[in-house]
Structure 1
Amino acid sequence: MDDFEIDEELVRSLLHEQHPDLAGLGLHLAATGWSNELWRLGDKLAMRLPRRERASSELRNEQQWLPTLAPRFPLPVPTPMRIGEPSARFRWPWTVTAGVPGEPGDRAPISDGSHAADTLAGFLRALHLDAPAEVPVNPMRGVPLATLTHEFDKKVHAIASSGVATDVREIWDDAVSAPDWEGPPVWLHGDLHPANVVVSDRTLSGVIDFFWARWCLPEGLKGLVALVGTNGYAPAVPAPDEAGDASTPLNVEEPRYRGRAQFREA
């Protein structure tokens, strides 16, 4: 059972089965992603249900770690409020979370890019702190770029006829040649892009869909540039090797950031 179809009847039956006090609340589908579906539950709650096996393990990480981390964040996040366990109706775990009001950033415009960038920077400063050894290492997120070369080569081959493959390859080669991070592992969101931030009143108002990881290279470029643009503005997002000075601006031209963005977009 992969890429599983979820409908309102199934979702409400899971609530009746495990959290009957919530089963009478209003319910509607809010978003369908590659990994999870998000259902609004009443006015203040939401449900996250995985659509595939891989997503179920990430949801378990969220259930374990997000309640501990959430108080440090300057933005709302989908803190787990109730846990749904696998059952005969649905083989994977699921979560009832606090709602994060607003629209995904890929659907809602932002009018003040500098304010949104500063807000996101504050969130990343709160997140990019040393992570405990027991936090799982994600094999694709936050790892040295050189370990992803084989996957990148396949992506570049797929765009070979587009006319941009040479430029993309040059950016990648420059990024791979940059020094590896040698500091301690840090927390990462793992999938920071416009669809995984929330916008209200035309500014950033929340972060969702953590793709849990701990390791070396910080996220930031793809989320910041794709969401708010740069326009010469460099928000203060410290890389882990700059963590001792949180006022150090993110250099969006730094090879590792550009390479990671190219890997995601190729």
Structure 2
Amino acid sequence: MRMHDDQLTVTPETVGALIAEQFPQWRHLPVTELRSQGTVNAIFRIGDGLTARLPLQPGDVASIRRWLRSEAAAGRELASATRFPTPEPVAVGEPGAGYPMPWSVQTWVPGVIATDDDPGDSVAFARDLARFILDVRSIDTGGRTFTGGGRGGALRPHDDWVQTCFDRSEQLLDVPRLRRLWERLRELPRGDTPDVMNHGDLIPGNVLVSGGRLAGVLDVGGLGPADPALDLVGAWHLLEAGPREVLRAELGCDDATWARGKAWAFQQAIGAGWYYVASNPAMSRMGCRTLARILADKSR
């Protein structure tokens, strides 16, 4: 099912034609479409070592090209900082072969997405995730600060969106209870805590697992400065209560930062639950499970 009204149709044949036109050194490699929970790109594997990522929605070509170059820079920055595999940029392609947008090629990272190999009860995985978050935080912001768009700044500016989500979730979730919780979460103060670098989207579809351990992390384009609590969304999207406390201890989270991490997970999950209920059921289930974990949590 299509996730977007204006969604582009991308086939292996299209990707093969783009490769033949623009990167003929790879034209002999097989192109395989990958099942993905992603909502932004169609993903294709090229041979054994590469992946192509093609935006699913049309947009301004110059803006998309700038984003892909920014994503490539983020990929290089993250790959040099973490002990865990992440996709590294290889090339940026141009419109062609009937496809109207720029697109990118990255290295392939092996592993199984956490939706298909659930690491929620793994203490070892929780420790790995904490190490990844610490690796990301170790990257120097270089004076960069949060830009003001999306998650990672203040919570209250997201109130209109959350209220819309409540209205759309009446048949799916315990909305009265969630409304009461959000009234508390939205008021959590940020204080003067400085921004640190965050991955920005630690959801199961972006996390690779092998043998109950963290095998790699995908979708690195959101790397940037934000509230130190932002990457704590992974505690709620990925972990059950026991391992979640292990992650908290490994990170040395104070109560205020931990509470804001819960709030950012809430903000992300409340949108995923209803919005993708038909078009991307795995994302919808993730949102609902995360909210259930938050409601069940007794910590402060």
Give TM class, smaller chain: 0.7 to 0.9
| Aligned 8 A contact 1:15 1:22 in 2 | yes
**Match for residue 51 of structure 2?**
46
> 1:79 deviation in Å?
0.6
Partner SS for 2:241? coil
| Residues 165 and 111 of structure 1, relative CA distance in 2, 3 Å threshold | closer
**1:22-37 correspondence runs (5 A):** 22-32=26-36, 33-37=38-42
Question: Partners of 1:190 and 1:247 in 2: how far apart?
Answer: 17
Equivalent residue letter for 1:52: Q
Matched, 1:90 2:94: no
178-187 or 167-176: bigger deviation: 178-187
Alignment of 1:82-121 (within 5 A): 82-87=91-96, 89-110=98-119, 113-121=122-130
Given that 1:73 and 1:123 are in contact with CA atoms closer than 8 Å, whether structure 2 keeps it comes out as: yes
* Residue type at the aligned position of 2:268: R
Residue range with higher mean Cα deviation, 249-258 or 19-28:
249-258
Aligned to 1:234: 245
How many angstroms does 1:161 deviate by?
5.3
Gaps of 5+ in 2: 271-300
When normalised by structure 2's length, the TM-score is 0.76
Q: Give the aligned partner of residue 156 of structure 1.
A: 166
RMSD of equivalent CA atoms: 2.9
Query: Do residues 125 (structure 1) and 134 (structure 2) align?
Result: yes
What TM-score do the two structures reach when normalised by structure 1?
0.85
Gaps spanning 5+ residues in structure 1: where? 239-245
What is the CA distance between 1:202 and its match in structure 2?
3.3
The AA in structure 2 aligned to 1:14 is L
AA aligned to 1:44 is G
Tell me the matched-pair count: 259
Q: Hey, what's the Cα distance between the residues in 2 that align with 1:253 and 1:83?
A: 37
Question: 2:217 pairs with 207, 223, 236, which one?
Answer: 207
SS in 2 for 1:231: helix
Sort the Cα spacing of 1:15 and 1:252 in 2 relative to 1 into closer, same or farther, 3 A: farther
Contact 1:45/1:97, CA 8 A, preserved across alignment: yes
Instruction: State how far apart, in whole Å, the 1-side matches of 2:133 and 2:208 are.
Output: 15
Matched, 1:225 2:236: yes
Q: Is the 8 A contact 1:60 1:93 kept in 2?
A: no
Provide the rounded CA distance (Å) in 2 between the counterparts of 1:136 and 1:4: 31
Q: CA deviation at 1:77?
A: 0.7
Offset of residue 132 of structure 1 = 3.7
Matches of 2:81 and 2:257, distance apart in 1: 29
Distance change in 2, residues 1:261/1:233 (3 Å): closer
Which of the residues 173, 181, 203 maps onto 2:183? 173
Structure 1 residues 116 and 58 mapped into 2: Cα distance closer, same or farther (>3 Å)? Answer: farther
* In structure 2, distance between residues paired with 1:211 and 1:141: 14
- The alpha-carbon deviation at position 20 of structure 1 amounts to 0.5
Instruction: Output the CA distance in 1 between the equivalents of 2:212 and 2:30.
Output: 26
Counterpart Cα distance in 2 of 1:53 and 1:133: 33
Counterpart AA for 1:113 = S
Distance 2:54 2:173 in 1: 40
Look up the equivalent residue of 1:45 and give its one-letter code: L
